[in-house]
């Protein structure tokens, strides 16, 4: 009903209006109830995944990449960060009906300038093998959903194998396929092959060899992702039950596990030298796990939601060269150039399962510096990648152990992390202080602010220093600006500290349970008993 407005003007009832959440429109009953009206579809599109491959075609644009968006799949030529691809001329474009591509992977060992093999997993459980360049090969596996009916969560070629690949599903099962073998016309029957703590392996019970060759049943929930080690001998698997499990792939033996703080683990990645594994999950944390020591090195929080992807950067991670022993006493080679300043802290340890008993690590904030190592004369330290010398000159460069990795969360934020030598050299189980100062080249220090963006924004979980197009200072909590004598990375992303302490959004909010260590809770219980 219309209302009488000021000055005798009658205000009409709006039939449509816009809000920050969207636009609203008043529909007539005849239009709303007609049978061919499009129904509401609450299904969300799977995350966008990207796969890269390099082919030696003699040109400057030898890289190809594939990505999925909704029901579409694209393959383009990658021209580098300085030149955008021509989106109007894809190498291949495919639109699927009734199912969505969820993951894909190139075969890095069988490739040529005019032919590459691409595996694609779908939301309905099917697996497709195509050649996006020749477009002659097109094979479909699990077409009738006889092997598994749940969505494909991860798919990868077995390293150094021209025809075998692994596929994981939301059912918590993982299958080994041979692209040259057919799938059966009936549901496969399995027989036990090997069993262990939290996993079992089965083989197909058939007269003729067919797909799948093996079936892995791992954990109590969905397998979210798996990754092969750089040496191709080990397989790391993370699942919805919150466990990281590391297997010796050829012998199918479980050699180590780790438990998340709470919730499922969604992503996993190996360090370039295979010594560390980083995971992310529903606890909003990134967790670094030592493969050789079978323990949690540190946990870090910079995200305010689930962590969907973690990836080590092989180009900016470095360790000491072969003439200098590492923290474990062995000799390792340089992987690249990294910062000489740490920007991670040790988070609270988990009750991980492995060779050691569970321990608790106090939180520590470390420096978020992103300064490139320099010579005393001011020149940048770079790795020598010539054939005559592929390692650092330690007489001129700074001996360091530093890993860098990035993480992306459902909070739409990208966090970049430094895992440096002072974290890795800490004795196992040694308590840490709650915070440490920001170390710059002038040896000045101050406590880290808890900000996730520019200083004018609200407090959150990342390091609060200015990152912009022309950055030369760091903003500290005391309000002073301290100059940095080296060049700072020119990026609009944030470096977050690996820390689980001092995470308070306000005094009125309850402290998150992951901010309490088990040792603190045990001491509280003991004090109650004594009283």
Q: Per-residue DSSP letters for 288-339?
A: EEETTTTEEEEEE---SS-EEEEEE-TTS-B---TTSB-TTS-B--------
Q: Which pLDDT score is estimated for 158?
A: 97
Q: Delimit the domains of the chain by residue range.
A: 3-32
Q: What is the mean pLDDT of residues 48-70?
A: 88
The reported pLDDT for the residue numbered 45 is 81
Give the chain's radius of gyration (CA, Å): 27
Structure tokens at 345: 């802290």
* Residue 293 CB neighbour total at 10 angstroms: 18
Look up tokens 């040792």; give the residue: 519
CA dist 89 and 108 (Å) reads 24
User: Which region among 5-19, 153-167, 474-488, 506-520 has the lowest average model confidence (pLDDT)?
Assistant: 474-488
Q: Answer yes or no: is pLDDT of 317 > 80.
A: no
Residue 238 and residue 259 in contact, taking contact as beta carbons nearer than 8 Å:
no
Short-list 80, 134, 72, CA closest to 104: 72
Structure tokens at 60: 């400057």
Q: Is residue 330 a contact partner of residue 234, using CB atoms and an 8 Å limit?
A: no
Kindly report, residue by residue over 258-309, the tens digit of the pLDDT. Answer: 999 999 999 999 999 999 999 999 999 999 999 999 999 999 989 999 999 9
The average pLDDT across 452-463 equals 34
pLDDT at residue 249 is higher than 80: yes
Whole-number Cα distances in Å, 432 to 340, 368, 499, 503, 512: 21, 18, 11, 17, 20
Q: CA nearest 304: which of 46, 97, 24, 494?
A: 494
Residue 436 and residue 310 in contact, taking contact as beta carbons nearer than 8 Å: no
Report pLDDT for 8: 57
Torsion of CA 335, 79, 133, 73, to 10 degrees: 90
Tokens of 210: 């067919």
The pLDDT confidence band at residue 498, using thresholds 50, 70 and 90, is low
pLDDT(390) > 50: no
Residue 423 pLDDT level (bands cut at 50, 70, 90): confident
pLDDT in tens, 484-493: 333 333 333 3
Q: Which residues contact 140 (CB under 8 A, 6 or more apart)?
A: 126, 127, 128, 129
Amino acid 380: pLDDT: 36
Q: How many CB atoms lie within 10 A of CB 91?
A: 16
Q: What is the pLDDT of residue 54?
A: 92
The residues, ordered by sequence, that sit 6+ positions from 204 with a Cβ below 8 Å of its Cβ are 184, 188, 189, 190, 210, 212, 213, 215
User: Does the structure show a pLDDT above 60 at 316?
Assistant: yes
Q: How far apart are CA 205 and CA 190, in angstroms?
A: 5
> Is residue 105 scored above 50 in pLDDT?
yes
Residue 173 has what pLDDT?
Answer: 97
What pLDDT was estimated at residue 21?
A: 76
Distances (CA, A) of 127 to 49, 54, 132, 150: 16, 23, 15, 12
Residue of 402, 383, 296 lying closest to 342 (CA atoms): 402
User: Where does the pLDDT of residue 248 fall: very low under 50, low under 70, confident under 90, or very high at 90 and above?
Assistant: very high
pLDDT for residue 269: 98
Q: Return the minimum-mean-pLDDT range out of 219-228, 412-421, 521-530.
A: 521-530
The mean-pLDDT minimum among 78-92, 103-117, 320-334, 424-438 falls in 320-334
| Residue found under tokens 């049943």 | 217
Q: Is pLDDT above 90 for 211?
A: yes
Say yes or no to pLDDT of 465 above 50: no
User: Mean of the per-residue pLDDT values for the chain?
Assistant: 71
What pLDDT score was predicted for residue 456? 34
Per-residue pLDDT of 14-56, as tens digits, reads 888 888 877 888 876 555 544 454 444 445 788 999 999 999 8
Residue 378: band (very low, low, confident or very high) from pLDDT cuts 50, 70, 90: very low
Lowest mean pLDDT across 214-218, 254-258, 452-456:
452-456
* Token pair recorded at residue 231: 């040496």
SS3 (DSSP) at 525: helix
User: How far apart, in Å, are the Cα atoms of 86 and each of 89, 163, 413, 424, 427?
Assistant: 6, 32, 27, 44, 52
Residue 529 has pLDDT above 50, yes or no: no
> How many Cα neighbours within 13 Å face the side chain of 246?
30
Residue 117 has pLDDT above 90, yes or no: yes
- What's the whole-number mean pLDDT along residues 137-143? 94
Lowest mean pLDDT among 303-307, 438-442, 496-500: 438-442
């Amino acid at each position: 009903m219309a209302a009488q407005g000021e000055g005798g003007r009658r205000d009409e009832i709006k039939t449509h209006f816009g809000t920050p959440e969207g636009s609203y429109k008043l529909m007539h009953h005849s239009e709303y109830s007609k049978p061919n009206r499009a129904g509401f579809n609450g299904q969300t599109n799977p995350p966008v995944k990207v796969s890269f491959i390099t082919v030696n075609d003699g040109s400057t644009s030898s890289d190809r990449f594939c990505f999925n968006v909704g029901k579409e799949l694209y393959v383009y030529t990658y021209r580098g960060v300085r030149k955008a691809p021509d989106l109007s001329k894809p190498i291949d474009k495919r639109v699927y009906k009734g199912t969505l591509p969820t993951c894909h992977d190139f075969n890095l060992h069988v490739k040529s300038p005019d032919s590459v093999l691409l595996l694609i997993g779908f939301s309905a459980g099917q697996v497709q093998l195509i050649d996006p360049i020749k477009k002659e090969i097109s094979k479909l596996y699990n077409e009738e959903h006889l092997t598994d009916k749940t969505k494909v969560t991860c798919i990868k070629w077995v390293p150094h194998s021209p025809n075998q690949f692994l596929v994981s599903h939301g059912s918590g099962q993982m299958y080994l396929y041979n692209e040259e073998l057919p799938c059966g016309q009936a549901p496969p029957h399995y027989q036990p092959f090997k069993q262990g703590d939290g996993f079992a392996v089965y083989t197909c019970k058939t007269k003729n060899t067919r797909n799948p060759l093996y079936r892995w049943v791992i954990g109590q929930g969905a397998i979210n992702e798996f990754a092969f080690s750089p040496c191709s001998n080990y397989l790391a698997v993370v699942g919805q039950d919150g466990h990281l499990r590391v297997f010796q792939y050829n012998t199918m033996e479980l050699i180590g596990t780790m438990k998340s703080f709470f919730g499922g683990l969604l992503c996993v990645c190996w360090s370039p030298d295979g010594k560390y594994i980083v995971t992310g999950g529903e606890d909003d944390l990134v967790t670094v796990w030592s493969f050789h020591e079978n323990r949690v090195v540190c946990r870090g929080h910079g995200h305010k939601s689930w962590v969907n992807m973690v990836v080590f950067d092989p180009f900016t991670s470095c360790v000491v060269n072969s003439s200098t022993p590492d923290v474990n006493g062995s000799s390792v080679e340089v992987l690249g150039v990294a910062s000489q300043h740490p920007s991670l802290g040790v988070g609270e340890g988990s009750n991980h399962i492995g060779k050691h008993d569970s321990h608790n690590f106090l939180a520590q904030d470390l420096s978020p510096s992103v300064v490139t190592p320099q010579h005393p004369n001011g020149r940048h330290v770079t790795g020598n990648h010539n054939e005559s010398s592929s390692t650092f000159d330690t007489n001129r460069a700074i001996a360091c152990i530093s890993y860098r990795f990035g993480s992306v969360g459902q909070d739409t934020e990208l966090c970049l992390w430094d895992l440096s030598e002072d974290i890795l050299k800490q004795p196992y189980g040694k308590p840490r202080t709650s915070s440490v100062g920001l170390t710059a080249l002038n040896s000045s220090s101050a406590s880290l602010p808890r900000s996730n963006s520019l200083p004018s924004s609200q407090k959150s979980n990342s390091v609060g220093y200015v990152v912009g197009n022309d950055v030369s200072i760091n903003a500290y909590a005391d309000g002073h600006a301290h100059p940095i004598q080296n060049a700072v990375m020119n990026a609009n992303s944030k470096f977050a500290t690996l820390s689980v302490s001092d995470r308070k959004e306000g005094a009125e909010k309850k402290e998150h349970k992951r901010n309490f260590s088990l040792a603190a809770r045990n001491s509280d219980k003991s004090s109650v008993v004594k009283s």
